[in-house]
Copies of this chain bind each other. A is one copy, B any other.
Amino acid sequence: MKNAAIMGYGTIGSGVAEILEENRDVIARAAGEEIRLKYVLDLRDFPGSPVEDKLIHDFSMIEQDRDVELVVETMGGINPAYPFVKACLLAEKHVITSNKALVAAHGSELLAIAREKQVNFFFEASVGGGIPIIRTLYDCLMGEKIEGLTGILNGTTNFILTKMDKEGWTFDQALKEAQCLGYAERNPEADVEGHDTCRKIAILTSMAVGKEVNYEDIYMEGITRITDIDVQYAEKLGMSIKLIGASRLQADGMVSAYVLPLMISREHPLYSVNDVFNGILVKGTMLGTSMYYGSGAGKLPTASAVVADMIHGVRNAGRNVELGWSAEKQAVAPMEMNVFRYFIRVAGQPEDRLSDLMTFGPLEVVSTGKNDEFAIISKEMPEANFREEAAGVEGIRSVIRVEL
């Protein structure tokens, strides 16, 4: 039997406790021995809850209890998650986290400590909720060189964009509904500005290249400027707007990586990833393209990923599983070098404006029947050229990158 502790009894932490209880037998069979929840660390009390008798408020009880071999961190944020996790690894306990902020900011260091202490630092639940994408990268696609990753990695923004697309809602209406349903935080910035997606693509890319990708090096643009009018144009084009995090290993050893709203066509494998679902495309040199799809958020899918990591921890007691990345820095190519086609909405009539816009051509012109504006889709251009040309054009109402 292995003893476990959960730090943080919020949505995910309580989901983990629930699954450990409900799937006790399946888990014991998979792990080879029983996993027993010994402590739940939280500042709050939860009188009447099923873990009432396990609640503690003092972290040192976990740190100093040599019987606790598995520690789950579901507190979120950097403090005190970071010092607690570090202390647990140094005390030779396996740590499992769902905290992408922690992994993106301190992953290299924590992975190195785990290696040194011959324990494991697992973080499946930090990316893709219930989709086992982390394990797929380090365990299933072994021997594969990963050339590209493209994902819808944030359930909240995907829900908002889906509602704008399918129901014709405005951004604000969709955001409000997401908040009502508990998908979006009161302060939705981390989701809608792209921070969450950015941390996740940084983690995945670090795993794919084996070096540390700093999320601050990744170009990031959220969905707050996407309007229902943009969505109408996309529909007219038979396309859909998705918040995409992507990275690609370049021939020069640099990585191109970005987070931005992208118009994708019906043929794109991520086109039908709707609502709070996530989808991740992986391109390997031998394997070709594969896709992984599932619930991107939600208590039980995420908690289920944590529990799978706990079982993996028990199975690998006493040895470090090689995963993650080294502390070596991976160079990220500047955004200006990336090539896209651009959807550009402009004021005016095509007959009056097309001469100004020739620099983006050969053009495809789109209209939704609104009288005072139209849109074009440009040729493929490096971002730097596009910016230079766009700076000289008046009346641009919105720009969205396009992948055809």
Q: Which residues of A contact B (CB under 8 A)?
A: 19, 23, 26-27, 30-32, 124, 130-132, 135-136, 139-145, 269, 271-272, 284-295, 298, 300-301, 303-305, 307-308, 310-312, 322
Alpha-carbon separation in the docked complex, A26 to B142 (Å): 8
Partner of A290, one of B19, B135, B294, B307: B294
Q: Interface SS of chain A: helix, strand, loop or mixed?
A: mixed
- Which of B132, B284, B301, B308 touches A304 (beta carbons < 8 Å)? B284
User: Nearest B residue to A144 by beta-carbon distance?
Assistant: B304
B272 contacts A322, CB within 8 Å?
Answer: no
Q: Beyond A19-B143, A30-B142, A293-B293, is A301–B287 a contact (Cβ under 8 Å)? A: yes
Residues of B within 8 A of A298 (CB): 288
Query: Measured between alpha carbons, how far is A124 from B310 in the docked complex, in Å?
Result: 24
Is the pair A143, B308 in contact by a Cβ cutoff of 8 Å? Answer: yes
Asked if B272 and A301 make an inter-chain contact with CB atoms under 8 angstroms apart, the answer reads no
Given contacts A32-B322, A291-B291, A293-B291, contact A145 B23 (CB under 8 A): yes
Return 22 A-B CB contacts under 8 Å, by A number: A27-B142, A32-B322, A132-B136, A135-B140, A136-B136, A136-B140, A140-B140, A143-B310, A269-B293, A271-B272, A286-B301, A286-B303, A286-B307, A287-B294, A287-B300, A287-B301, A288-B300, A288-B301, A289-B295, A292-B292, A292-B293, A293-B293
- Do A141 and B145 touch across chains, with their CB atoms under 8 A apart? no
| Chain A to chain B: the 10 pairs with minimum beta-carbon distance, closest first | A290-B294, A132-B140, A286-B304, A291-B293, A130-B287, A143-B307, A30-B142, A142-B311, A286-B300, A142-B308
4 extra A-B contacts, CB within 8 A, seeds A130-B288, A284-B304: A130-B286, A139-B139, A286-B303, A291-B292
User: Which residues of the partner chain B approach A27 to less than 8 Å between Cβ atoms?
Assistant: 142-143
Report which of B131, B144, B288, B308 forms a contact with A295, defined as CB distance below 8 A.
B288
- Closest-CB distance, A162 to chain B (whole angstroms): 13
For A132, list chain B residues within 8 Å (CB).
136, 140-141, 290
In chain B, what residue has the closest Cβ to A288? B295
A131 to B290, CA, bound (A): 7
Asked if residues A312 and B142 are in contact (CB atoms below 8 Å), the reply is yes
A208 CB → nearest B CB, Å: 12
Residues of B within 8 A of A272 (CB): 269, 271-272
B residues less than 8 Å from A30 (CB atoms):
142-143, 322
Known: A132-B140, A272-B271. A287 touches B295 (CB 8 A): yes
Bound together, the chains give a CA A243 to CA B12 distance in angstroms of 38
Task: Please indicate the chain B residues that have their CB under 8 angstroms from the CB of A141 in the complex.
Answer: 132, 304, 308
* Shortest Cβ gap from A129 to chain B (Å): 9
Write out the residue numbers on chain B whose beta carbons fall within 8 Å of the beta carbon of A136.
Answer: 132, 136, 140
Q: Which of B130, B271, B290 touches A130 (beta carbons < 8 Å)? A: B290
Complex CA distance for A291 and B49, rounded to whole angstroms: 34
User: Which of A30, A143, A290: most chain B Cβ within 10 A?
Assistant: A143
Also in contact, A23 and B143, with CB within 8 A (given A288-B295, A291-B291): yes
Return chain B residues, CB-CB under 8 Å to A289: 294-295
Chain B residue contacts of A144, Cβ below 8 A: 23, 26, 304, 308
Closest to A292 in B: B292
How many Å lie between the Cα of A26 and that of B286 in the bound state? 12
In the bound complex, what is the Cα–Cα distance between A301 and B286 (angstroms)?
Answer: 6
Query: How many whole Å from A288's CB to the nearest CB in chain B?
Result: 5
User: What is the CA–CA distance of A93 and B27 in the complex, to the nearest angstrom?
Assistant: 29
A232 to chain B, nearest CB (A): 21
- Which residues in B have their C-beta under 8 angstroms from that of A305? 287
A19 touching B130 by the CB < 8 A rule? no
Closest CB-CB distance, A111 to chain B, in whole Å?
15
